[in-house]
A and B are shown apart, each in its own frame.
Chain A
Amino acid sequence: GESVGLHLPTLSVQEGDNSIINCAYSNSASDYFIWYKQESGKGPQFIIDIRSNMDKRQGQRVTVLLNKTVKHLSLQIAATQPGDSAVYFCAENISGGSYIPTFGRGTSLIVHP
């Protein structure tokens, strides 16, 4: 969830563990969601997307789950590696428009070797 001030929500895991990053979205009209990864000093990088007609989508080592009833997304990363350390953002869109996403505040994932 959100936290006040400059402190991002943080998830610390051990290398090899599975990570689950959660996101609550605000607009019930949003029907397309994207997860981005932002490493230090870089721009956000696309990880995976999901449309509202699905509740689960899998990629390489990542799975996104969507619960429209409670407006909640999660990103699961299997066998987390040190290279997964980054800030993860969920972004919500209303499709059929100009694909202008609204980004959440982000969660910092720290993977300990």
Chain B
Amino acid sequence: ETGVTQSPTHLIKTRGQQVTLRCSSQSGHNTVSWYQQALGQGPQFIFQYYREEENGRGNFPPRFSGLQFPNYSSELNVNALELDDSALYLCASRPTGSNTGELFFGEGSRLTVL
């Protein structure tokens, strides 16, 4: 168990809709990042939050946005869904003060866009 929980585990949306995915990490893990994993691919970095501020972003358009809250929870929002957004979305956290890059992943939210 990594202590990172994500919801929902599965969801289906239609093109053009909006989706919010949620993540809750362990107490003391104040860095959270989100990844998109398409079928048969490795996780692709979307963005990272530290102490409620975005401090890194991958090659994803602005319709991908996020929030981090003081209670170690976070959200990924995707607007104007496209078919290619269908993927497993992974949330990962790192402990405060960690000197390693070890990420603690949740089990993901599988999004299908029809």
Q: Which A residues contact B (CB, under 8 angstroms)? A: 5-8, 32, 34, 41-46, 49, 89, 91, 93, 95, 98-106
Contacts and interface: CB of A to CB of B under 8 A. Distances in A.
B56 interface: yes
Contact of A100 (B39, B40, B48, B90): B48
B101 A32 contact: yes
Contact of A7 (B31, B40, B100, B107): B40
Residue of B56, B58, B101, B105 contacting most chain A CB atoms (<10 Å): B101
Contacts of A44: 43, 90, 103, 105
B108 A6 contact: no
Interface residues of B, number: 29
A98 B56 contact: yes
Given A43-B4, A89-B42, A105-B42, A99 B94 contact: yes
A14 to B, nearest CB: 25
Given A43-B90, A44-B90, A49-B102, A105 B41 contact: yes
Contacts of B2: 43, 45
B55 interface: yes
